[in-house]
Structure 1
Amino acid sequence: MNPVATWRRLLAEFVGTALLVTAVVGSGIMATTLSPNDVGLQLLENSVATAFALGALILTFGPISGAHFNPVVSAADWFLGRRTGTGMSAAHLGGYAIAQTLGAIAGSILANLMFDLAAVDFSGKDRAAGHLWLGEVVATTGLILLIFALARSGRSAVAPAAVGAYIGGAYWFTSSTSFANPAVTIGRAFTDTFAGIAPASVPGFIGAQIIGLIIGAGLLLALYPGVGQSADEVVVHHDTTDATAPPARL
């Protein structure tokens, strides 16, 4: 179990998720300002900034809270670890989800204010369509597989680069541009900018993300039967007293 005090872990999840959404929304606003007539370039600028920021944030907050920044990652950590007594408790899962969601909303508001926009301006960008929901299923499934496969095989140290690279790539190979995160989805409803999503479209995205969580967890149990034993090492290994990298486990 993570020995760090609960309030510190929740604060890390709140601040980390807030800064992640600030990066997503802020870079989207900047992209539309710098490249107003080129949507492809806007997406490139938005995805690169998000990938780099996510990697840096995992490095910053990983040793404190695990740097989940995502309720589906926390839910998978609880589900996969509960049979082996590892991972987080149900109470901590609830606390993480609340902190992540509040952080995401705060991050969206912060980005709006930095660019001299209304603090809260609900998005009008409709993203309710079956092919977008499928994109979210694929993005979330891949994210869960990546994170827990790294932990189980003793490669959590590369999670900052690997997770950042995956999200940056998934911006381009999924139809939904890879939200893959219920908290971030809710937060992005609070900005009517490039990265926004209409509040009415949020439930469909979250439903697809939950399906991705279920599929990802099922695949992990099939591919890595002992994956639950490594739930305490998601996303970044918490035991900072041992500098020796754990051996690969399958």
Structure 2
Amino acid sequence: MSATPLWRRAVAEGIGTGLLVTVVVGSGIAAAKLSPDDVGLQLLENSFATALGLAVLILMLGPVSGAHFNPVVSAADWWLGQRDGSGLSLRELATYIPAQVVGAIAGAILANLMYGESAVSWSTTDRSAPHLWIGETVATAGLILLIFSLVWSGRAAIAPAAVGAYIGAAYWFTSSTSFANPAVTIGRAFSDTFAGIAPSSVLGFVFFQLFGAIVGVGLVVVLYPKLGSAADVVVPHADTTDSGVAS
């Protein structure tokens, strides 16, 4: 368990998830303005900014909270940690998830305001279709498998680059453009822009993200049955004193 106070880790998770949504929504708005007649170019711009932004956020906040920024990552960390007493406790999980969701909503509002949009404009982009749900299942399962295979095999140091690269690639190889994150999905409903998702589509996406996480956890257990512990996902976070200086 990290010596960093739980409230500080929750703040880091809220900020990290919020800035991630700001990157996703903000770059989507910018892409739509810069390339109004080319959806493919818009997606390229959006995915490139998201991949780089996510890697930077993991590097910046990982030492504080582990840089989950995603309820299914936190839930998987808690679940897998039950086997050997590592990972998040139930209390920590119950603190991380609300912080991530609130942060995601705030991040969407910030992106809207930066581009002169209404603070809240509910998305009208319908994403309710079986092929999109399959895409979310694949995207989330792959994300969980990637993160825990890196951690359990002692390669967590490359997680910022690897996770950023995976999400950037998954924008293109999944039909859903790889939300793979319930908090981010909820946040994106607050912006009627290129990266938005209609509120009516959120529940379906979240359900299949949870299902994908279960699939991913199962694959981790099958492929890495004897390696490591679940703690310190996405990256190892250092013990800190109350002054916030790493010991």
TM-score (norm 2): 0.95
- What residue identity is the alignment partner of 1:206? V
Matched with 2:126 is: 126
- What residue identity is the alignment partner of 2:44? L
Contact persistence 1:12–1:64 (CA under 8 A): yes
Q: Deviations over 1:211-241 (max 9, x none)?
A: 10110011111111135x4211311112469
The equivalences for 1:193-212 within 5 A come to 193-212=193-212
Matched with 1:183 is: 183
Matched with 2:43 is: 43
CA-CA distance at 1:134 after TM superposition: 0.2
- What residue identity is the alignment partner of 2:63? P
Matched with 1:236 is: 235
Q: Number of residues paired by the alignment?
A: 240
Q: Deviations over 1:48-96 (max 9, x none)?
A: 0000000000000001000000000000000000120000011111111
Q: Deviations over 1:102-121 (max 9, x none)?
A: 00000000000000000000
1:142 aligns with 2:142: yes
Helix, strand or coil at the partner of 1:175:
coil
2:94 and 2:135 map into 1 onto residues whose CA distance is: 26
Matched with 2:87 is: 87
Contact persistence 1:2–1:232 (CA under 8 A): no
2:90 and 2:131 map into 1 onto residues whose CA distance is: 33
Matched with 2:115 is: 115
2:67 and 2:237 map into 1 onto residues whose CA distance is: 10
Matched with 1:62 is: 62
Q: Deviations over 1:98-154 (max 9, x none)?
A: 000000000000000000000000000000000000000000000000000000110
2:167 and 2:192 map into 1 onto residues whose CA distance is: 22
- What residue identity is the alignment partner of 1:11? V
Helix, strand or coil at the partner of 2:230:
helix
1:222 and 1:94 map into 2 onto residues whose CA distance is: 27
Helix, strand or coil at the partner of 1:219:
helix
2:163 and 2:239 map into 1 onto residues whose CA distance is: 21
Unmatched 5+ residue regions in structure 1? Answer: 242-250
Contact persistence 1:232–1:238 (CA under 8 A): no
Unmatched 5+ residue regions in structure 2? Answer: 241-247
2:231 and 2:214 map into 1 onto residues whose CA distance is: 20
Matched with 2:23 is: 23
CA-CA distance at 1:160 after TM superposition: 0.3
Helix, strand or coil at the partner of 1:190:
coil
TM-score (norm 1): 0.94
